[in-house]
Amino acid sequence: MGRVSDARERLIAATVDLLRVESYGAASVDAICDRAGVRKGSFYHFFRSKDELVITALEAEWQSRKPSLDELFSPTVPPLARLRNYFADVHQRQLRMRAEHGRLVGCFWCKIGYELDQNSEIGRKVHDILAMYTKYYESALRDARAEGLRIDDVPGKARALFAFMEGILSQARISDDPKLIRDLGKSAFAFLGIDAVAAA
C-alpha cells in the first residue's frame, strides 16, 4: 500500500477512471482497490461503501471540470463564442481521452446516469451535475437573446441543446468515430437555427 496520506485521493482517481472507461457495475470495490494500489481495509477506513466513494468521485470530477467551464462560459466572452469554444473543447477533450484510453469515452456523467435509477443517491447526484451543465448553456443563450438573437423559451432550448450534444457523444462512443463530434459546434448552431458562419 502507498502512503496513507494519498490513499484516499488514489481511490477517488481510480474510481473516476473506472467509471469513465468501464461502467458503474465494473467499478467494484476490489477493482477500485486494485487500480488504486490500496488495500481493501484502507478503503473502508475512508468510505463506508462503494456508493459513498462514487458520489465523492463524481463531486471531485465536477470540481475539476468546473473551472474550465467557468472560463469557457465567462460573461466577458460573446455568448455565441462561448458555445462555439465549448463545443470545440468537448471535441478536443474526447480526442485526448481516446488517445489515453484507446477509444472514445463519451459523457462521463451520462454513462453513469444510464446505469442507475434516477431516484438513487448517485442518480440524483448525476442529475444535479447535468442540471448545472445546462445552466451554462442557458446563460449563453439568454445573453445571445439579449443581444438580439431570436430565441424563445431559453431554458427549453438549453435543455434540448444539451440533449442534442449528449446524443452525438453517445453515438460517437458507440461507434468510436471521432468524425461524429468534429463538427459538433456547427451541428449545434444548425440545431438552434443559427447560421454558424454568421455566428463566427
CA trace torsion 147, 149, 150, 152 (10° rounding): -70
The amino acid at 61: E
Domain presence at residue 17? no
Domain presence at residue 29? no
Domain presence at residue 44? no
Cell of 121: 443517491
Domain presence at residue 184? yes
Domain presence at residue 61? no
Domain presence at residue 116? yes
pLDDT, position 1: 46
Domain that holds residue 140: 73-199
Domain presence at residue 124? yes
Domain presence at residue 102? yes
CA distance 117 to 124: 9
For the entire predicted model, the pTM comes to 0.88
Cβ-contact 98, 84 below 8 angstroms: no
CA distance 161 to 97: 23
pLDDT, position 2: 47
Q: Is the dihedral of CA 166, 167, 171, 172 positive or negative?
A: negative
pLDDT, block means (10 residues), the chain with 200 residues = 73 94 90 94 92 95 96 96 95 94 90 82 92 95 92 92 93 92 90 66
Cβ-contact 181, 172 below 8 angstroms: yes
Find, among 118, 111, 96, 87, the residue nearest to 173 by Cα. Answer: 111
The domain tally of the chain equals 1
